[in-house]
């Protein structure tokens, strides 16, 4: 006999909610899903009335649901936001060109203006060309660095006050695990922040899906019959994140609350007093935020343009190339790849830290 919804008791249950394991109907699922995101937005004061908000849109499930839900909540609760879709064309044939067609359909479906910026226009390189140079082992490093900066540049073109991305709870928990595994304390301290404040001329960005499970986003998109692109990037199977993701999925299967537990653990980390941490400044070449004289994007571009693609990834490659680089190139011992502290310098507070951290670059 079909179970009744545990929330309303009137309709038959249509799904078992991954986050709470409750058996609920579609209508109640829509309500709790949207309401939790609304509470996240309000409690963290993510927006102000009149804000121009750029939604990072890739055509995938996360950004498609984010665009749909933000538009719904903006209309329902009168946030007073001006919403835009912002996409980045990395230049991946057979993947990004297809996903951008989905974004273009979303533009019409949600009646939201769309702006597309490309790696080719911004950097003179496509990811296809970069992969030919660097291979498939470290290509995600290039893409992640370039995409972050491309989103900021695109948002500036839109004159946006705020950027929102579809990073969900699974993504953030994976990032916590990755930063622990590689001893990156600087990023570990700030990776769980829901807002990256806008300092040094940068645009604030936030993650409204911080506490939203990936499985629930997929369910919401499925039941709402949203139009999204579901193919994985052809260059991502070898990404380091994949190993953290597989481990997290195993944990979730045993204990569904593990995802939120890891996020709360990350929120409660604090760096020991006296530990030297990177100081945020600006890149001497492009003016972008950086803890070195040259930002990571400029170092990576320098390597590509000089035929030294491992520059910025390998310390040994950076040291060998130093005589041929500008005097403003970062010192190998102080490069962005080398964390200024180790995990032994981290201790957990008894209570969860809820303050906003420094820039997450």
Binding-site residue positions = 56-58, 62, 88, 166, 171
Listing DSSP states for 179-190 in one string gives: HHHTT-HHHHHH
The neighbour count for residue 8, using CB atoms within 10 Å, is 13
Helix or strand or coil: residue 122? Answer: helix
Residues 361 and 48: their CA atoms lie apart, in Å, by 24
DSSP class of residue 105?
A: H
Residues 200 and 359: their CA atoms lie apart, in Å, by 10
Extract the annotated binding site for ATP: 56-58, 62, 88, 166, 171
Largest CA distance in the chain: 75
Residues 320 and 66: their CA atoms lie apart, in Å, by 45
Residues 168 and 261: their CA atoms lie apart, in Å, by 14
The neighbour count for residue 254, using CB atoms within 10 Å, is 7
């Amino acid at each position: 006999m079909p179970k009744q919804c545990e929330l309303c008791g009137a309709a038959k249950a249509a799904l078992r909610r991954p986050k709470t394991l409750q058996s609920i109907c579609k209508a109640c699922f829509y309500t709790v899903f949207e309401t939790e995101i609304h509470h996240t937005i309000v409690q963290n004061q993510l927006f102000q009335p009149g804000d121009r908000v750029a939604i990072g849109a890739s055509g995938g499930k996360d950004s498609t649901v984010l665009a749909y839900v933000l538009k719904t909540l903006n209309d329902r609760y009168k946030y007073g936001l001006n919403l835009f879709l912002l996409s980045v064309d990395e230049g991946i044939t057979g993947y990004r060109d297809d996903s951008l067609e989905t974004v273009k359909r979303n533009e019409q479906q949600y009646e939201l203006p769309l702006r597309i910026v490309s790696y080719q226009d911004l950097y003179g390189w496509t990811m296809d060309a970069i992969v030919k140079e660097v291979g498939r082992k470290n290509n995600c490093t290039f893409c992640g660095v370039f995409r972050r900066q491309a989103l900021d540049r695109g948002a500036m073109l839109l004159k946006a006050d705020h950027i929102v991305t579809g990073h969900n709870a699974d993504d953030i928990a994976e990032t916590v695990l990755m930063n622990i595994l590689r001893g990156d304390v600087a990023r570990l301290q700030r990776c769980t922040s829901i807002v990256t404040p806008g300092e040094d001329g940068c645009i604030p960005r936030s993650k409204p899906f911080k506490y939203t499970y990936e499985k629930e986003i997929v369910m919401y998109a499925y039941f709402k019959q949203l139009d999204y692109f579901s193919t994985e990037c052809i260059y991502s199977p070898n990404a380091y994140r994949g190993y953290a993701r597989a481990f997290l999925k195993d944990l979730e299967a045993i204990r569904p609350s593990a995802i939120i537990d890891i996020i709360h653990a990350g929120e409660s980390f604090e760096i020991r007093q006296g530990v030297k941490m990177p100081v945020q400044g600006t890149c001497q070449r492009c003016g972008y935020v950086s803890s070195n004289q040259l930002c990571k994007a400029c170092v990576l571009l320098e390597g590509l343009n000089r035929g030294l693609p491992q520059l910025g990834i390998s310390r040994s490659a950076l040291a060998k190339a130093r005589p041929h680089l500008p005097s403003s190139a970062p010192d190998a011992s102080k490069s962005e790849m080398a964390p200024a502290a180790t995990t032994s310098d981290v201790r957990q507070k008894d209570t969860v830290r809820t303050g906003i951290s420094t820039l997450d670059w």
